[in-house]
Every structure is written in C-alpha cells, then in structure tokens.
Amino acid sequence: MIFLGMSAGMMGILLGTTVAAVVFLYWLKPPPQRVIVPSTLLWDRLLKEKKRNPFLDRLRWWISLMLALTIGLAVASGIGRPELSSPGSGIRNITVVIDNSATMATRTSDGFTRWEHAVAHAGRLLRQGSARGNFLILDTSGQAPSREPGSRRSALETLVGLTVSLGGEPEFPDLPPGESELFFVSDGVMVDLVPPEATLISVFELAHNVGITAFEIEALPSEPTRYHAFVQVKNASPVAKRITLRLSGSLEGGIRDTLTLQAGETRARSIDLGSFGRGPVRAVVTADSDAFSPDDYAFGFLPIRTQTRVALITPGSLYLENVLANEPRMSLEVIRPAQYNPEVSADVYIFDRFAPPEAPRGPALLFLPPNVEWLTRTLDVVEVPEVTGWNPDHPVLRFVALEDLRVDRAARIAVPPDLESRSPSLSAEPGRKSVSEIVVGNRSLPLILVTDQTNRIVRVSFALEDSNFPLHPGFPIFLANAMQWLMDEQVALARAPGRIEVPLPMAAVTDLEGTEIVAWPLSDRTVFVADQPGLYTVVGERDSRLRVAVNLTSSKRSSVNDSDLPSGEITTATAVVVAGAEPGPSEELWIFLLLLALLLVVVEWATYHKRLTV
C-alpha cells in the first residue's frame, strides 16, 4: 500500500498524532461536579451497581476507545489517499497515446463507438502496474493539457476530458524524454506515422458509411443571380448502397433524389436552387446502417432571392434603367433628382450624378456624386485617367473583368481618413477596423471606392456616360454583385469543425437556432469553436456580418474503412470502462475508509444511547 496524498513519513506522523490525541482525550477526566442530593436512596443504588459490574464498566470503556481510534485512523488514512497496487505488479512507466481523430466516432456493431472502446482500453492500461509508476495520456489532436508524466489519477483525469476531434490534421504527438512503455490505441485510418516501439491496440471494425464529401453554393458565372448547389456524395461502405439525398431551405418543400452507389464510389450532383428562398440550405444523406453520422449533413447559405426595392435617382440613364428593369427580383422605382424625398423607402438607393444633402436611410450605390457632407469631397476632374488596377477578390468585382475598361473623365476624390494611416494597397488588411477600400484605381485616383459601415456605400467616381463600362458584359454582373454586397448577402464562408477565426473584430456568434456561442472577440478578429457541423452567424461592429458554414465534407474522414489494421473482435459493450470512474476496491481505498468512519460514528451513537459504551 502506498499513499498518494503525502509521503510515508508525513503519513506516519499523522497516524501517530491521531492515536495520541484520541487516547489522551479518553484518559483525560473532567473535574467532578458536587451536587447536593437530599436523599441516600440514589447513592445506595449507584454504589450497588458499580460494585456489581466492574468488569463490564472497564469493557465498555475499552470498546469506546477502540471505536474512537478506528474512526480517527480511518479519517486520517483517507486524507492520505491510500492505494493498493495490482497484485503481483511492479513499478511501470506507462504512456498511452489515444487516437481521437474524426473516424473514431464511427459506431461499431455493439452500438458503441470506436472512441468508447479506445477509452476503455486506455483506462485499463493506465490501471496496470504499481501506483508509484509514472503515467501519461496523450492524443493525436493536441487536446491533452500536459505532456509530462504524472500520477495515475492525473492521467485518468486527462482521459476524461478528451473528445473526438472532427477537424484539424491528427498526428502522432511528440513524446517526452525518458523510458516508458508506449501504447497506441487507434483505428488506423487517419494516423499513419507511428513509432516502431509503440504497442498498437486496434479498435478497427468494418462499418457502413455514406457521407457528403463536398457541398458548395455558388452563383453561375454567366448568370450571377442564379445559384446552384454542388453536392458530392461518397459510399465508403464495403457494399453497394441505395442513398437518399435531400436539400431543404427556409421555405417548405425542398429537393429529394435517390441514387445507388457501388462500394467506394463517389458521385457529384449540381442542383438548381431556383425554387429556394433566401436563407440556410441543408443537405442530408441517409442510408441503411450508417455508422458515421457527422458527414451525413452539410450546411450553406443562399443569398437574397426575394424581391428587393431599389430607388434609382437619376436625371436619366438608359443603361441603369434597362439593366435594373430586366432583373425579376428587383422592384425598381425611378425618381428624378428634383422629386427626391428623404422619406422615400427602399432597400437599396442608387444615385446617378446626384447625392442628397443627408445620407439615405439604407445602403447606396453612387455614380459621380457631387460634393456633400457625408461623402469625401471631390478635388478635381481628370481627363482620360488610366485604370491602374483592381481587386478581383472583392465581392463587388467577382466575375467582373476590367481589362478593357476605358474612362474619358473621372473625379479625383479625397481618400477617406481611415485609408490615410494604412500602407498603400488595393485591398484592405483582413480584420482591420478600416471601413473603406479602393477596389478599382489607386490612392491618388480611386475610381471605385467601397465603404463598409452600418449602411454600406459603393462610390463610382465617373459617370456611366463617360466610360465604356455599361457596354461591358460584366456590367450587369457588377450591379448584381453590388446589390448583394450592399444588402450584406453573401454565400457562407466554408470552414471545417474545430477552432475558427473570422476577420470581424469584437463580434458575437450565434448558431442556426439563434443560440449564442461562446466566442473570444479580439481587436482584429473573433475566434470561436464549432465541434459539430452547422451554420453560424458572426455579427461584428457596425452591424457587419458573416455567415460561416462548418461542414466535415472530407473524403478522407468519410473513408472510415481505409485502415491497414485487421477487423476483428474488439472490446464488448459490457467491458466498456467509464474513464472518469474512480479505481475499484483493489486500488484506491480512501472512499471506503471514509464510509467505514461514517458507519462507526453511527454505531457509536447507537451504542452510547443504549448504554453499551461510554
């Protein structure tokens, strides 16, 4: 027996002090109290009983002393956390590496997962050998907080906190220096490089799985107002499967398709989302006996598809009026500058060679606006300016080619204050608090300037009549992109499960049901953890928002049978050990010692009231 709570010397001092204190208290006699009783009958009876049972009185005293000593020693020993080593075992240093990659969440034939079987094996390995050995638990996803050997209890506590990690790139961890027996518990699917000295314990078993390995919602380059969903499905089962694919959105109905895939076959589908409304889109695949659920569903976001109210304030522009009138999802109202009313209600405002004295109540697209207080001022007019560059990565210029753009006349506008302190660049640095960005032109001559604030602004510093821009095939695409960006309508960012960073500072994160997710808002970005697939909304300062689609969508993770380990008998359900459980009676005894002390206190109380002890 050893004590985990303190050294043997300290334990001896504690036990000796406990015995001495109990014996001293029992030998210590309180001073007698004198009581005057006006009768001798009571004293005669007391003297007769004392003379009659002297041996029983002494026995009662010794029983009370033994009970008190046993209670005190049980409590003192429990404080020291005594532990019995396994019979016949010596001191061993044991290091267990447990695979917690995504495929370990695969369900086995007994209803448990590979991960639960791995935890059972790791728990039994850590309970081997003497408790005086050094124990260490590591994992392939870097969740284990400590990489130094310690006590058996600390290793078991670390095992309790480990979970399957769906994201990241799992790898065999670096081992600390020193001699130790090394065990690796794995299904052999995602971790390949294992040291030769490691003893491999397999939890692999063939399983049926059908999963979504790719899911994207994209606009067609030739028609950016139409969206398609690209879905790729893989049958990783050892046999052919009949699969049902469902796509559902914010409206009732959806799309359902049935397909048959052979073992190991992958098939892709492109699905028109013309019947879907704006909002989340969910893809789900179902098949018989599917053992790996995280890849059965994927999420995306469909930008605005409902009708948008557009107010076009222009002295007359056939280019704008014709393009906007031909867009079925827009309700266009053409207003002359003299008839403009600040109270006019619209989702997006387009000002052509006009700008009101005060900013409108919504996002705005402006072409060659005059000087007003809510815009940076015009410095001068440049004849035949050179188009020096543009940022094709910005959403406003997606699928828009400007190689042949010619401008006859443009206004040189002042650079916004937030751009003055930034190094010259066409694009803003991700995560910065700056709200303005030059997407066409340069700092000395911005031709298209976007401002990301509560009501977004796209400012074009030339008139359409002074350029060949409206004759470009990309002009309608530019207008559609500008509408989407102004309305904050973008497809969701694609991310894998795990730690996620988004370039929005000081933002709040909510899931698809509106529940707030714990996030770490930083000055230049926001970090949160998404352990499961889902659609998340990130809302930052100035009401700017991003949607993040967290999907597994990985062919490697869906291939749950891609292992070189043999498939055979693994731990049965009845042998699954709960990692957080305390060691049994053959190991740690402090719980039983405290229970014994409690029981003896009850016995002492009962015998005292029965006059059996003193």
Using the Cα atoms of residue 199, residue 203, residue 207 and residue 209 in order, give the sign of their dihedral: negative
| Displacement of CA 276 from its chain's centroid (Å) | 29
DSSP state of 104: G
Q: Where in the chain is the domain with CATH 2.60.40.10?
A: 210-305+553-558
Query: In DSSP terms, which residues pair with 367 in a beta bridge?
Result: 352, 460
Q: Name residue, tokens 């969701």.
A: 492
Instruction: Judge residue 420's burial from the number of C-beta atoms within 10 Å of its C-beta, 0-12 exposed, 13-18 middle, 19 or more buried.
Output: exposed
Give me the pLDDT at residue 577, please: 37
Burial class of 155 by CB neighbour count within 10 A (0 to 12, 13 to 18, 19+): buried
- Fold adopted by 308-486: Rossmann fold (3.40.50)
Residue 577 identity (one-letter amino acid): V
In order along the chain (614 residues), what is the average pLDDT of each group of 10 residues? Answer: 63 82 75 71 67 66 82 79 57 90 94 94 84 87 86 88 91 89 93 90 94 89 75 95 92 86 94 85 94 94 76 94 84 93 90 95 93 94 92 89 93 85 46 70 93 87 95 90 80 88 86 90 86 90 78 93 74 37 48 78 76 68
DSSP helix/strand/coil, 187: coil
Say what the pLDDT of residue 54 is.
65
For 37, residues 6+ apart whose C-beta sits below 8 A from its C-beta are 43
Using CB atoms within 10 Å of the CB of residue 406, give its burial: 0 to 12 exposed, 13 to 18 middle, 19+ buried.
middle
* Structure-token pair, residue 472: 């470009």
Q: How many other CB atoms are found less than 10 A from the CB of residue 534?
A: 20
The pLDDT value recorded for residue 8 is: 67
Tokens 């960012």 correspond to 493
Which distant-in-sequence residues (6+ apart) come within 8 Å of 549 by Cβ? 215, 298, 299, 300, 301, 492, 493, 494, 495, 535, 536
What is the CB-side half-sphere exposure of residue 64 using CA atoms within 13 A? 20
Which ranges of 406-532 does DSSP label H, i.e. alpha helix? Answer: 417-420, 475-486
| Among candidate residues 217, 246, 367, 232, the one with its CA nearest the CA of residue 304 | 217
Take residue 98 and report the two structure tokens written for it: 């447990």
3-state secondary structure of 27: helix
Q: Between helices 318-325 and 475-486, what is the axis angle to 10°?
A: 70
User: Contact, 193 vs 564, CB < 8 A?
Assistant: no
* Closest to 452 in 3D by CA, of 478, 477, 487, 421: 487
pLDDT of residue 427: 43
Long-range contacts of 431-434 (CB under 8 A, 24+ apart): 431/503, 431/504, 431/505, 431/524, 431/525, 432/524, 433/505, 433/541
Beta-carbon contacts of 388 under 8 Å, excluding residues fewer than 6 positions away, are: 441, 442, 445
User: Could you tell me which of 263, 281, 264 has the C-alpha nearest to residue 272?
Assistant: 281
CB of 224 within 8 A of CB of 477?
yes
Which token pair is 544? 């700017």
In angstroms, the CA 424 to CA 231 distance is 40
Question: Which runs of consecutive H residues, i.e. helices, occur in 509-564?
Answer: 555-558
CA distances to 179, 190, 253 from 175, rounded to whole Å, are 10, 19, 54
Domain with CATH 3.40.50.880 in the chain: 308-486
Cβ atoms 401, 457 nearer than 8 A: no
Torsion angle of C-alpha atoms 458, 461, 465, 470, degrees rounded to 10: -40
Residue whose token pair is 């406990």: 18
* pLDDT for res 50: 58
According to the model, what pLDDT value does residue 432 have? Answer: 39
| Separation of alpha carbons 91 and 511, rounded Å | 50
Which residue, among 350, 353, 360, 349, has the nearest Cα to 378 in the 3D structure? 353
**CATH class of the domain comprising 210-305+553-558:** mainly beta
Residue 536's DSSP bridge partners are 548
Number of Cβ atoms within 10 Å of the Cβ of 493 = 16
CB 294 within 8 A of CB 166: yes
Tokens in use for 394?
Answer: 């910005």
Which of 129, 510, 374 shows the shortest CA–CA distance to 502? Answer: 510
pLDDT value at residue 72: 82
